[in-house]
Amino acid sequence: MKLINKTRLSDKVLENILRDAAKALNKRVRTTGVVVKVVYNKKSTYTNGWALKCDTIKWGKKDKRIKTDKGVIHISVPCLYDELKDEYTKQATGFFETMRHEWGHVSDFQSKKKLAFDQGLNGRRRNHGNRLEERRVHQYIEAAEKRGHTTDKYMNVISQFAEEVIKKYSKNMYL
């Protein structure tokens, strides 16, 4: 994974949750050469993520062009919703699930199979949830969960991530 970490969180904690989210997909996905940029979103209490199929990426004018293994993921760490521990765990779970979803797209980008995509076609697009690529990713996740890769199974890494968010972003010293 080529991690671009724009948060205060440690690379190690981020790498752990990002990798486990790929494992939770229970599907072939090469993580090593994928560029993952993580930002902290101080305006949203929800994780936002997107994935893009490309061979190289250049973020800003001053940045170097980076080679990718068919994909780039951009994901945000949500700001703290409430100074309650349960809320952090919920948000951390949302982060994990969003990341798992984005790996699903990358898995398609890397696939040698001919897969149908709605996105990027000319004309009107279906609404997000009905796009072929979205429905496909939902099926991957359903199949993985049936095989035991539920969010509960990854609670350790999710909790570690939540702890790190509290440590680096909470103003409440009593947590």
Query: Which residues bind to Zn ion, rule: CB under 5 A?
Result: 134
Which residue number, 128 or 167, has a Cβ lying nearer to Zn ion? 128
Q: How far is the CB of 15 from Zn ion (least distance, A)?
A: 22
Q: How far is the CB of 61 from Zn ion (least distance, A)?
A: 28
User: What residue is closest to Zn ion based on CB?
Assistant: 134
Which residue number, 31 or 80, has a Cβ lying nearer to Zn ion? 31
User: How far apart, in whole angstroms, are the C-alpha atoms of residue 71 and residue 52?
Assistant: 6
User: How far apart, in whole angstroms, are the C-alpha atoms of residue 57 and residue 74?
Assistant: 12
**DSSP letter string, 91-146:** HHHHHHHHHHHHHHHHHHHH-SS-----TT-SSPPPPGGGSHHHHHHHHHHHHHHH
Q: How far is the CB of 109 from Zn ion (least distance, A)?
A: 12
Which residue number, 105 or 164, has a Cβ lying nearer to Zn ion? 105
Q: How far is the CB of 102 from Zn ion (least distance, A)?
A: 7
Which residue number, 69 or 108, has a Cβ lying nearer to Zn ion? 108
Backbone dihedral region for residue 119 (phi beyond 0: left; psi -120 to 50: alpha; all else: beta): beta
User: How far apart, in whole angstroms, are the C-alpha atoms of residue 13 and residue 27?
Assistant: 22
